[in-house]
């Protein structure tokens, strides 16, 4: 996935574009109602600074204006109660205020995708996986394809999709015994075929 287009200078010319991108990076609510949600969040987390924060002020932050640096400091500090910033916070604050050097890069200077970008990539990959598995089921069943019921084909597809999702899940650290049985049966079948030749 390429995030180059997200880091082009023109994409973040306005302070509001930079604020939106910062919120995307940390996984803050997206879409309709984001401005009101941000206003409510700030007034709730830092009432001494943002207690009288007006919606029109927040709306201007999502457009061409950035708040004073002390309010940027307070907003980022408030966001840190519930969200994690994986990059240099002082660079992020400066970038929101004036633009310049893109702060969401790794140690090699390459752009780092946001949480939302990664979630979208997982969704896209899962949708593509369905098509890949369907074509493999068709290919592997060969002549049997016509004799299998739609329920049986769906069962084969679902088992293969589940295996692929389990395989790609970094939090699964133990292989289920049903997968081990499948591998053992396939290898045993292959060994028996070699012995009969």
Compute mean pLDDT per 10 residues along the chain, 197 residues long, and list them: 44 87 89 92 93 93 91 93 88 88 71 69 85 89 90 90 83 83 86 83
State residue 171's pLDDT score: 79
Helical packing angle, 15-26 and 89-98, nearest 10°: 150
State both tokens at 42: 């700030």
Nearest-angstrom CA–CA distance, 122 and 40? 30
The pTM score is 0.54
Nearest-angstrom CA–CA distance, 162 and 5? 33
Whose structure tokens read 């597809």?
A: 157
C-alpha pair distances (Å), 37 with each of 44, 118, 144, 165, 175: 10, 22, 55, 34, 42
């Amino acid at each position: 996935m390429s995030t180059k287009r997200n880091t082009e200078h023109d994409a973040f010319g306005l302070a509001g574009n930079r604020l939106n991108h910062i919120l995307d990076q940390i996984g803050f609510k997206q879409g309709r109602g984001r401005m009101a949600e941000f206003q409510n969040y700030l007034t709730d987390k830092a009432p001494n600074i943002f207690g009288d924060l007006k919606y029109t002020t927040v709306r201007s932050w999502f457009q061409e204006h950035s708040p004073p640096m002390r309010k940027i400091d307070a907003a980022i500090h408030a966001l840190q109660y519930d969200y994690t910033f994986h990059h240099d916070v002082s660079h992020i604050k400066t970038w929101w205020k004036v633009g310049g050097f893109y702060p969401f890069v790794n140690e090699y200077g390459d752009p780092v995708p946001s949480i939302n970008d990664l979630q979208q990539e997982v969704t896209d990959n899962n949708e593509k996986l369905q098509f890949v598995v369907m074509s493999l089921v068709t290919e592997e069943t060969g002549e049997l394809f016509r004799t299998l019921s739609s329920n049986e084909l769906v069962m084969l597809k679902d088992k293969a999709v589940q295996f692929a999702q389990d395989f790609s899940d970094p939090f699964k650290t133990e292989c289920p015994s049903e997968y081990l049985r499948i591998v053992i049966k396939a290898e045993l079948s292959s060994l028996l075929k070699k012995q009969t030749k």
